[in-house]
Amino acid sequence: MDKLVIEGGLPLKGEVRISGSKNACLPIMSACLLTDDKCMIDNIPQLKDVLTMSEILSFLGVDMELGERAIVRKSGSYENFTAPYDIVSTMRASICVLGPLLAKKKKAKVSFPGGCVIGPRPIDLHIKGLRALGAEIKIEGGYIVARAKKLQGANIYLGGHFGSSVLATANVMMAATLARGESVIHCAACEPEIADLAKFLIKMGAKIEGYSTPIIKIKGVRSLHGARHRIMPDRIETGTYMIASCITGGSLHLKGAESSHLMAVIDVLRQANCLILKTERGLLVKRAKRDLSPVSVSTLPYPGFPTDMQAQIMSLMCVANGISVVTEKIFPERFIHISELNRMGSQIFLEGPSAVISGVAKLSGARVMASDLRASAALVLAGLVARGKTEVHRIYHLDRGYECIEEKLSKVGARIKRIKDD
């Protein structure tokens, strides 16, 4: 197992290339199950989760070829319809194969998914949506077992306790492309990753309207064909490097970044005295003033402030000049990183679903333990500004969602290296 060792205190300067979006890529890879034709997906991020999804598709019998920043689904049918526990248990997005398998094979057996420990993330909306399309679904031995002689278009409401569900919207939308008649998803997720999936499905011959809005309409077709698609830039990676620039007092040009996907994050960073400028090639990010101002943030479904940026903005507020409040409204238990940030000298305490952060002049390097993907990034950000040496352990979480993070940071001036853990 590896760890990252960071010597903090240096401003980051230079250019960072933003990778393809992990959260867009995984459902799009799953969508290749809907056709027997060849598909090509470009701008694939080189991540552990992408390898895991490729393993799942290969296990199902899909002939996949993973290259450098591209993946090809070769033509030919597949026969398997079971996604096993050993692979699915490592990644939440594995659930995305359920809808395409059911639509294409009329049956699916998918293990309950795993992923980061950030609180309960039930799959009830996935099951509700697919049942509305006519599927019979049972839970047997830790597996979701689904069958359908035919899928029929329906009106489906996908609102949950904490708002819409991105993966449930993706699953139901994919299944509905091969259903008879028209399906309408109400309270659909509006995230850019859903729009990217819809664009790929449309290239495959699907008839979809209203993506990027809470009401998505899908007219089922008899079959889908192969297509080629380029994955959108990763907005969470972009946001993380924006904060890396601001927290170190540096200046980074984020090549390929899309500002329209990050308006809530940009707004909060501007409140914190950060300067974000749109350029021909991406975004330029640096501090507008020497001191960072405190902010109050609540995570919300898109286009609100993303829960996947909650831990990172908290790291930034640890060194702001004043008291900040970060409220988590999507995953109320997503605060495991607080204790590790406090080990580095931050002053954070929980008050219900909110974290109250009293900014300090300096953080101190320490041995810290990553609990999930975005918490890992938050600890790296804190290490970049901390005085002395920080060791971030259990960084396998980072490898699931950040492509070559230590290499990208090193190229812009960070003193960071990956070594074998003792």
Q: Which residues contact 270 (CB under 8 A, 6 or more apart)?
A: 276, 288
Helical (H) or strand (E) element with 350: strand 347-351
- At residue 116, the pLDDT reads 44
Summarised one tens digit per residue, pLDDT across range 46-99 is 999 999 999 999 999 999 998 888 999 999 999 899 998 888 887 878 899 999
Residue 118 above 60 pLDDT?
no
pLDDT at 115 over 50: no
> pLDDT tens, 164-209?
899 999 999 999 999 999 999 999 999 999 999 999 999 999 999 9
pLDDT at 117: 45
Instruction: Specify whether the CB–CB gap between 110 and 144 falls below 8 A.
Output: yes
CB 91 within 8 A of CB 49: yes
How many residues can be counted in the chain? 422
What's the token pair of residue 399?
Answer: 């490898």
Per the annotation, the verdict on 116 as an active-site residue is yes
Surface-to-core class of residue 256, CB atoms within 10 Å of its CB (0-12 exposed, 13-18 middle, 19+ buried): middle
CATH 3.65.10.10 fits 2-15+234-420, yes or no: yes
Cα dihedral sign, 376-380-383-389: positive
The domain spans of the chain are: 2-15+234-420, 23-230
Domains 2-15+234-420 and 23-230 share a fold: yes
From 32, 96, 116, 190, the catalytic residue: 116
Pairing type for strands 70-73 and 274-278 reads unpaired
Residue with tokens 């399906």: 183
**344-373 pLDDT per residue, tens:** 999 999 999 999 999 999 999 999 999 889
Tens digit of each residue's pLDDT (9 = 90 or more) over 333-343: 889 999 999 99
pLDDT digits (tens, 9 = 90+) for 238-269: 999 999 999 999 999 999 999 999 999 999 99
- Global confidence as pTM: 0.95
Of residues 167, 203, 278, 210, the one with CA closest to residue 42: 203
CATH level 2 (architecture), domain 23-230: Alpha-beta prism (3.65)
The packing angle between helices 235-248 and 22-31, to 10°, is: 170
CA–CA distance, 43 with 20 (Å, rounded to integer): 5
> Angle between the 310-317 and 235-248 helix axes, to the nearest 10 degrees?
10
> What is the percent of the chain with per-residue pLDDT over 70, rounded to a whole number?
98
CB 108 within 8 A of CB 102: yes
